[in-house]
Amino acid sequence: MEDIKEIQRRIYPPMVEGEHDFGTVSDRISDLTLKKRTPIGWYIGFAIGFMLLQVLMMTVTYLLFTGIGIWGNNQPVGWAFPIINFVWWIGIGHAGTLISAILLLLNQKWRTSINRFAEAMTLFAVACAGMFPLLHTGRPWLAYWLFPIPNSMGMWPQFRSPLMWDVFAVSTYATVSLLFWYIGLIPDIATLRDRAKNKYFKFVYGLLSWGWRGSARHWHRYEIAYLLLAGLSTPLVLSVHSIVSLDFSVSQVPGWHATIFPPYFVAGAIFAGFAMVLILCIPLRAWYNLKDFITDTHLIYMGKVMLATGLIVVYGYAMEAYFGWYSASKYEVFMIQNRIWTGPYWWFYWLLIFCNGLSIQLLWFKRFRESAFWLFVISLIVSVGMWLERFVIIITSLHRDFLPSSWAMFAPTIWDWSMFLGTLGLFTTLIFLFVRFLPVISIFEVRTLLPEANVHGHQQDFEENVVEIETTRDPDRGGGA
Amino acid sequence: MDKKLFGFLAEFDTPTEMVDAATKVRDAGYTKTDAFSPFPLHEIDEALGIKRSILPYMVFAGGIVGLLSGLGLQYYVHVIDYPLNVGGRPFFSLPSFIPPMFELTILLAAFTAVFGMLFLNGLPQPYHPVFNVPRFALATREKFFLLIESDDPKFDYNETRNFMESLNPQEVFDVEP
């Protein structure tokens, strides 16, 4: 019997460690918001995030009064930091949807304890991403022109443009992510409502839970809705980054005009997103002592996903270079040479290869994959690497145009940096507020992971299965190896 | 007494106990019943005889409406209201209309899934008689509850109460309306 337990542990590592029942699971997670003293790490993190948020406020104010000339954008580098940062942020968001939707459809139980804050991460990352194109328009108060609203000018947006597709993709993505996240929260907010002692908390959580009472009929429709949302989000998330990549690849610019872009962008997005999930959850589980729910197994799985998607991204780099050569177009060949060794930004390219290509190779080794410290360090490097990737794609393609007379260098100004740092502040602030006021782990889904959640012990027949394997191996019954 | 009662609520410790009890409730012929659990239980649908929801069909319809409205919008804009010749390409350039059509399909289907679910569930509903039972707060934590409403045709105060006691619950509560 002990052996079977051991085998079971190895094949299906438990997703909840320690001794837990429905009650302790509910208490442990909801106490983070209701009872437990806020750890000092929270105050430090929130303070840093909030200070950076002020940098964003200042930058946006100055920007609105002065115009986008305060940035380093020029001709021919018209798409500079705003688009780099937009693509970087929106990519980060994608891991949240991957975890919550695609892994749900694939029946990966380990998604359960990380999906909630991965979804929150998606939402906040999309909010940060959205600021860049909005402010890059220069007159954000006219941004409603992007939507097909009948107006007195008799004008319509141009639906044949990928930029218009982007408006539809990103706004749909933000809306559906919000719905998915909030629907997932409703039963857990009901738990908070029922456990809150404080009158005001009780009232606010009561409002937000919409009177959820866990009725079987409600759960029945709830699960259908949740599954359908997962099924709808899956093609959605793939379409969003594909459309973002079409902003580039539909154009004629050498270095952008490549058919590999959509899958390569999607893989890069998931890669960057998993890095961000690891950056967030490693400190979170240490400060809040959540190692029972976000186990080492979770971190190892995420490390493996990072390695796999990272390798796809590296394949994308190889294919970009190959296509440049194989196209036999002198502009494409020149672009690749310029990007990799002859151009002024060559070292960005090699830094990118180091961050996204070399650093992840450590994940082949158990020692690094199983160490939270190394996963954290590699995730930080990957986040920098994915930012550099967008820098390389956007800046090196634009700064050497078709006409040498229009060539120019790009250098970011202090306002480019403050805008980027500011959105990091917005993201951090929102994440910390979320951790403080809402359940960071999906409580009702973690309850279903406990063995006692199975009626009549269904799905617990592992022991019987092992016995069955033993009997099929029996030579008398004709079973082979 | 009967007039002032919404129904009986029986508390159970484990999902298995509640599902077994629910099967007995259904076999005894009660129809105005409900179960409450801190997480979704698939077995309870069968035990209580809950029919499959029409929600998936609504979501499909929502998606179709989204698809057609995306097509209609772009057709109206680019063919009827403001035809614009871009490099001699056709006004009705379907391939480049596909991304917005796709996004609108997803958007309206997702809206239907969420708001359809809430609508069919009758949510938001801040007040419900079961909240009058103080122990019911545990239904979102660890306990499982079974409800028989008083307007069930088979409902009789003493008989139903005895029947519920016979299901081995932790306790049976009167639910005030």
Q: What is the ipTM of this complex?
A: 0.89
Which has the closest alpha carbon to A449: A143, A113, A103, A164?
A113
The mean predicted confidence, pLDDT, of chain A is: 85
A17's tokens: 């460690």
Distance CA A315, CA A311 (A): 6
Taken in order A56, A62, A68, A74, the sign of the CA dihedral is negative
Residue with tokens 């609508």: B119
Cβ contacts of B35 on chain A, cutoff 8 Å: 215-216
Residue B81: inside a domain, yes or no?
Answer: yes
Q: Starting from the edge strand earliest in sequence, which strands make up the sheet with B144-149, in order?
A: B33-36, B144-149, B7-12, B171-175
Q: What is the pLDDT of residue A460?
A: 47
Average pLDDT, chain B: 85
Q: Which amino acid is at A226?
A: Y
pLDDT band at B64 (very low <50, low <70, confident <90, very high): very high
Position B60 in a domain: yes
> pLDDT (tens digit, 9 = 90+) per residue, A352-402?
999 998 999 999 998 888 888 999 999 999 999 999 999 999 998 888 888
* pLDDT at residue A132, rounded to an integer: 92
Share of chain A above pLDDT 70, in %: 91
- More confident: B59 or B50: B59
A354-365, pLDDT tens digit by residue? 999 899 999 999
List, as one string, the DSSP characters of B17-82: HHHHHHHHHHHTT--SEEEE-SS--HHHHHHHTPPPPSHHHHHHHHHHHHHHHHHHHHHIIIIII-
Q: How many domains would you assign to chain B?
A: 1
A-chain CB neighbours of B37 within 8 Å are: 214, 216, 219
Nearest to A224 among B14, B55, B126 (CB): B55
**Residue B40 corresponds to which tokens in the numbers above?**
């979704």
| A455 vs B16, B74, B103: nearest CB | B16
CB–CB contact A221 B117 (8 Å): yes
Measure the CA dihedral B9/B14/B20/B21, to 10°: -20
pLDDT in tens, A40-56: 878 888 999 999 999 99
Taking chain B, what is the end-to-end CA distance rounded to the nearest angstrom?
A: 11
Residue B126 near residue A223 (C-beta atoms within 8 A): no
- Tell me which residue range forms the domain holding B110: 55-121
Closest-CA residue to A156 (of B91, B106, B90): B91
Closest CA to A176 of B98, B53, B102, B52: B102
Could you give the C-alpha distances from A478 to A267, A470, A471, A474, B75, in angstroms and in order?
A: 45, 12, 10, 7, 66
Instruction: Identify the three-state secondary structure at position A144.
Output: helix
CB contact under 8 A, A232 and B110: yes
Q: Is B70 exposed, middle or buried (0-12, 13-18, 19+ CB in 10 A)?
A: buried
Per-residue confidence (pLDDT) for residue A466, from 0 to 100: 47
Whether residue B85 is contained in a domain is answered as: yes
Q: With CA atoms as reference, report the closest residue to A191 among A14, A450, A445.
A: A445
- Is pLDDT of B148 > 90? no
Partner-chain contact B103 A455, CB within 8 Å: no
pLDDT of residue A474: 46
Q: Is the pLDDT of residue B117 over 50?
A: yes
* Per-residue pLDDT of chain A in tens (481 residues, 90 and over written 9): 556 767 766 777 767 776 777 777 777 777 777 776 777 878 888 999 999 999 999 999 999 999 888 998 888 888 888 999 999 999 898 888 888 888 888 877 778 888 888 889 999 999 999 999 999 988 889 888 888 888 888 888 888 888 899 999 999 999 999 998 999 899 988 888 888 888 888 888 888 888 888 888 888 899 899 989 989 998 998 899 899 899 888 888 888 888 888 888 889 988 998 899 899 888 888 887 778 788 888 888 889 989 999 999 999 999 988 988 888 888 888 888 888 888 889 999 999 999 998 999 999 998 888 888 999 999 999 999 999 999 999 998 888 888 888 888 888 999 999 999 999 999 999 998 998 888 888 888 888 877 777 776 654 444 444 444 444 444 444 444 4
Phi/psi class of residue A371: alpha, beta or left (left: φ > 0; alpha: ψ in -120 to 50)? beta
3-state secondary structure A184-220: HHHHHHHHHHHHCCCHHHHHHHHHHCCCCCCEHHHHH
E strand map for A375-464: none
First to last CA, chain A: 23
In chain A, which residues have their Cβ closer than 8 Å to the Cβ of B138?
Answer: 194
Phi-psi region of A378 (alpha: psi -120 to 50; beta: other; left: phi over 0): alpha
Specify whether the CB–CB gap between A183 and B17 falls below 8 A.
no
Tell whether B111 lies on the interface with A, counting CB pairs under 8 A. Answer: yes
Examine residue B2 and state whether it is found in any structural domain, yes or no: no
Say what the pLDDT of residue A463 is. Answer: 47
Task: Collect contacts of B114-117 with beta carbons under 8 A, ≥24 apart.
Answer: B114/A179, B114/A183, B114/A225, B114/A229, B116/A225, B116/B55, B116/B58, B116/B59, B116/B62, B117/A183, B117/A221, B117/A222, B117/A224, B117/A225, B117/B55
Q: Which position has the higher pLDDT, B23 or B71?
A: B71
Task: Flag whether residue B113 sits within 8 Å of chain A, measured between CB atoms.
Answer: yes
C-alpha atoms less than 13 angstroms from C-alpha of A152 in its C-beta half-sphere: 0
Interface test with B, best of A119, A153, A172, A223 (most B CBs within 10 A): A172
Residue reference for tokens 């009705």:
B92
Per-residue model confidence (pLDDT) at position A329: 87
CB A272 within 8 A of CB A91: yes
Q: What is the pLDDT of residue A462?
A: 46
Determine, yes or no, domain membership for B115: yes
**Structural domains for chain A:** 20-143+158-439 (1.20.1630.10)
- What is the spatial distance between Cα A223 and Cα A211, in angstroms, rounded to a whole number? 17
Tally of CB atoms within 10 A around A315: 14
Interface contact A23-B141, CB threshold 8 A: yes
Contact predicate A397/A253, CB 8 Å: yes
pLDDT at residue number A32 = 75
The reply to whether B140 touches chain A by the CB within 8 Å rule is: yes
Nearest to B55 among A154, A175, A221 (CB): A221
CB–CB of A156 and B77 under 8 A?
Answer: yes
Give the tens place of pLDDT for each residue, A108-144: 777 888 888 888 999 999 999 999 999 998 888 988 8
Interchain CB contact of B87 with A (< 8 Å): no
Nearest CB to B126; choose among A206, A214, A246: A206
Ranking A79-83, A320-324, B98-102, B133-137 by mean pLDDT, the lowest is: B133-137
**A294/A110 Cα distance (integer angstroms):** 9
| Residue A207 to chain B, least CA–CA distance (Å) | 8
Instruction: Reduce the DSSP state of residue B97 to 3 states and report it.
Output: helix
pLDDT at site B103: 94
Compute the distance between CA of residue A257 and CA of residue B155 in angstroms, rounded to an integer: 72
**Please, are residues B40 and A219 in contact by the beta-carbon 8 Å criterion?**
yes
pLDDT digits (tens, 9 = 90+) for A290-309: 787 888 888 888 899 899 99
Task: Tell me which chain B residue has its CA closest to the CA of residue A180.
Answer: B114
Q: Please write the tens of the pLDDT for every residue from A210-222.
A: 888 888 888 889 9
Please check whether residue A229 is in contact with residue A176, taking contact to mean a CB–CB distance below 8 angstroms: yes
The answer to whether residue B83 is domain-embedded is yes
Do the domain assignments include residue B9? no
Distance CA A116, CA A103 (A): 13
d(CA A433, CA A429): 6
Q: Among A374, A371, A341, A372, which residue's Cα sits nearest to residue A359?
A: A374
% residues pLDDT > 90 (chain A):
27
Cα gap A133→A237, rounded to integer Å: 19
Radius of gyration (C-alpha) of chain B in whole angstroms? 25
> Does residue B94 form part of some domain?
yes
Q: Quick one: which H or E segment has residue B112? A: helix B94-121
